Amino acid sequence: MLDVVNEDLIREGKEPIAFDHDCREGICGMCSAVINGVPHGGFERTTVCQLHMRKFKDGDTLYIEPWRARAFPILRDLVVDRGTLDRLIQAGGYISCHTGGVPDGNALPISKGGADYAMDAAQCIGCGACVAACPNGAAMLFVGAKVAHLAVLPQGQVEAPERVAEMIQAMRDCGFGNCSNHYECEAVCPKGISVKFIAKLNREFLKALILAKTGPFKSSD
Amino acid sequence: MILDGKAPTGPIETTWERHRSDMKLVNPANKRKYRILVVGTGLAGASAAATLGELGYNVEAFCYQDSPRRAHCIAAQGGINAAKNYPNDGDSVFRLFYDTIKGGDFRAREADVWRLAQVSNNIIDQCVAQGVPFARDYGGHLETRSFGGAQVSRTFYARGQTGQQLLLGAYSALSRQIRAGTVKMYPRTEMLDLVVVNGEAKGITLRDLITGEVRCHAGDAVVLCSGGYVNVFHLSTNAMGCSVTAMWKAYKKGAFLANPCYTQVHPTCIPQAGEYQSKLTLMSESLRNDGRCWVPRKREDVGKPPDAIPEDDRDYFLERKYPSYGNLAPRDVASRAVKEQCDDGRGVGPTGRGVYLDFKDAIRRLGEHELRERYGNLFEMYERITDEDAYKVPMRIYPAPHYAMGGLWVDYNLMSNIPGLFVLGEANFSVHGANRLGASALMQGLADGYFVIPYTIADYLARTKPGKVTASHPECRKSIEDVKAQAKRLLSVRGDRSVTDFKRELGNLMWHNCGMLRSNKSLSEALSTIPAIKEEFWQRVRVPGTSAEFNPQLENAGRAADFIEFAELLCRDALHRDESCGGHFRVEHQYEDGEARRNDARFCYSAAWEYKGEGAPPELHKEPLRFEHVHLMVRSYK
């Protein structure tokens, strides 16, 4: 739809609207717009790029705005800078393993339930709608999904306490807020990622506190 | 010129081991003195940047998206092949090698394909270690499924989002190196020129897409992982931003472009619905494991609802034509069969360009729950786009351009003919021949990035002195001026037609004249039309805004200009290859049953084209293909 608007604007000699988009299949996470007050438009498990005009009535007025969050400065029109999400992952959202020199893929059996749980969390597309929908501008669904995905897998458990501690610290440093249980994030998530992962994040954080990897009793080792 | 791929000779089983021990190494303390520029951060780029950074090189990585996690590999659904033989169904490195060579219709270099099959197993191990949540059975072991062109079950998957999970694995490895400071990441930048100094690739010129700043980054080697070019067709399954630009700029600086006519059309895409549509969406090939393709046997049944057509009046054409592979016939073969049915007037759906992909039998056999488990997200995606519930009515599918087998020419070390320019993943031409098998693209991207480039780039760097060229070199300054001049030229046309308009015109021409079926006539016609489109583009295109700002229209205009020039080369290559092979189907060359007829006596080579300047015809170089471990034969899936 925005393509068509832009085509018209160009024909009329006006500036087209800048907006982020790429795969148009709802998987790359590039598209980002608040439609009628709701990130991605408010249709269940749907990104903006997969939101069809047939969902609206002829003559409806659409209000289109960029993501709103302190951690996502606006670059132009509907385009925001989501570099902070990358910084959260860089803070520890990975398993440290060198290329080569890893054991056979079947060496470590992983329960089907565990693999499914990890996959439920891992399908996050990193669009940032959860942040945009949160009244606190929190990225806890995003961080929770990554922490949970890696913490449930045996190969991710080695670094689990450090990971959660560092990602939470980065969350603070990047200007994201904290969760106060509005559940707006789950409601707008195009992948339907559950807030149960925020609960998992909190439990993992508690473990890190007890292990003195973070907080007032953080040990220096 | 006869090109040499420099593949090692001797027993193929040990080529890669022998080659690895012959190559030079760079000592760990010296590695940090070398700067490597990696363009593109899909599977190939992210895995290469992460691995090279981990080894201690100074890496700079670039992508046009706002984050390296968004490359279009993310949209790959079905899976990744590996010769693990976990199901004990007779798989081996040789079989994967053989299937890939045969799948590519005998138009790829043997040694490269062998290496790919060999390292495929390491990829699975690596991804598991990174935490990629592959599907597991109840015993906790890895699950596999079948894909087109293979009779074994060797495809590993993570629901219908395998590409996403593998990319996020590579992205996590990359993120770790960014944090460690070995990789510097530049998102929202687009490479617009290759800097060649004394015949060697020593830098790139890019445009910062936010500020519009044009600058040059110098390095000791350039690794191009910029993906494929099928957006040259109107409506492909590629992302909107996928372009030929990086590849084309390298070509114009002397890199050979090989086999551009090998493009893949994927049989299972959601059919086009309207004029305004901007792209097509793929439905994973894995669906053909359980879905059955059919069309009404009688033309008068076409308009009826599928339920009203009795079993006997349905033509399961893939099963009929290819009994041994059935619905899992390879992509090129299946696509042409689909087109054949529609051309015969038996296509279904509002446009008549579609066939049914029916899951009724699978639901009866496995139950809806099991199907949901296997393909849930794909069915959901289908419903979102078409507003139809595929658990109740059959899906409708039609072929769409999907992948480019052709690309920049590289030798066995993945180095192009320009020393210092390495090309990885879809951007190179190396392993898929004239047709790629399903679940092999992910495999190739990661094989090149994790397990090939770390070895072969050292062999080049060990022979060069680090830091020879800096961004103040005259060649770099000239390159910046050239890039700025191009932007200025695009902005100064101030015509009356939008970039999209031209892109659509070119893409439609390419699809109709150089798509699934090509002929001498259609290609000659395209070759005479393209120069006119080009001329009109430079007279009538309208690019709003300026170059010193965030300007997506300017980006698109640059990409479209390159696509127009590239389209001509693609058609030229397709016209010169007077045979049918894999995805390149010349109607003049087919067997009586409509299968592709190769001409090994004349065309058993890779065609690498060299740029000879504006207006001059490109020069053709040939790399002869030798088959010592598989026999050249008619590719049959019957």
Residue B381, CA atoms < 13 Å, CB-side half-sphere: 21
Taking the alpha carbons of B539, B544, B547, B553 in that order, is the dihedral positive or negative? Answer: negative
Q: Examine residue A130 and state whether it is found in any structural domain, yes or no.
A: yes
Q: Identify the band that residue A221 occupies on the pLDDT scale cut at 50, 70 and 90.
A: low
CA B218, CA B35: separation in Å to the nearest integer? 8
Minimal Cβ distance to B172: which of A54, A83, A94:
A94
Chain B touched by A79 (CB under 8 Å): yes
Chain A touched by B386 (CB under 8 Å): no
Report the residue of chain A nearest B550, measured CA to CA: A76
Topology match between the domains B1-262+405-613 and B265-402: no
Closest Cα of chain B to A53: distance in Å? 11
> Which CATH number goes with the domain that contains A133?
1.10.1060.10
Minimal Cβ distance to A155: which of B129, B141, B380:
B129
Give the residues across from B145 on adjacent strands: B155
CA B421, CA B140: separation in Å to the nearest integer? 43
Q: Examine residue A45 and state whether it is found in any structural domain, yes or no.
A: yes
Q: Examine residue A109 and state whether it is found in any structural domain, yes or no.
A: yes
Give the residues across from B622 on adjacent strands: B2, B607
Minimal Cβ distance to B140: which of A27, A52, A111:
A111
B window 169-198, beta carbon within 8 A of A: 171-173, 175-176, 178-179, 185, 187
Q: Examine residue A216 and state whether it is found in any structural domain, yes or no.
A: no
Averaged confidence pLDDT in chain B = 95
pLDDT value for B274: 79
Please answer yes or no on whether A104 and B187 come within 8 Å at the CB atom.
no
Please answer yes or no on whether A153 and B496 come within 8 Å at the CB atom.
no
Give tens-digit pLDDT for B75-87.
998 899 999 999 9
Label residue B634 left, alpha or beta by phi (over 0 means left) and psi (-120 to 50 means alpha): beta
Domain assignment of residue A149, given as a range: 2-210
What percentage of chain B carries pLDDT values higher than 90?
91
- Is a pLDDT exceeding 70 seen at residue B273? yes
pLDDT value for B373: 81
pLDDT value for B618: 98
Q: What is the mean pLDDT of residues B201-209?
A: 98
Active-site residue set of B: 331
Give tens-digit pLDDT for B125-145.
999 999 999 999 999 999 999
Boundaries of every domain in chain B: 1-262+405-613, 265-402
A window 125-184, beta carbon within 8 A of B: 125-126, 149-150, 153, 155-156
Chain B touched by A16 (CB under 8 Å): yes
Give tens-digit pLDDT for A146-203.
999 999 999 999 999 999 999 999 999 999 999 999 999 999 999 999 999 999 999 9
Is B1-262+405-613 a CATH 3.40.50.2000 domain?
Answer: no
Give B141's DSSP letter.
P
Q: Examine residue A215 and state whether it is found in any structural domain, yes or no.
A: no
**Which uninterrupted H or E stretch holds A74?**
strand A74-76
Determine the CATH number of domain B265-402.
Answer: 3.90.700.10
pLDDT value for A13: 87
- Radius of gyration of chain A from Cα atoms? 20
CA B134, CA B151: separation in Å to the nearest integer? 21
Contact A176, A131 (CB under 8 A): yes
Q: Identify the band that residue B166 occupies on the pLDDT scale cut at 50, 70 and 90.
A: very high
Contacts of B141 in chain A (CB under 8 A): 106, 109
Query: How many domains does chain A fold into?
Result: 1
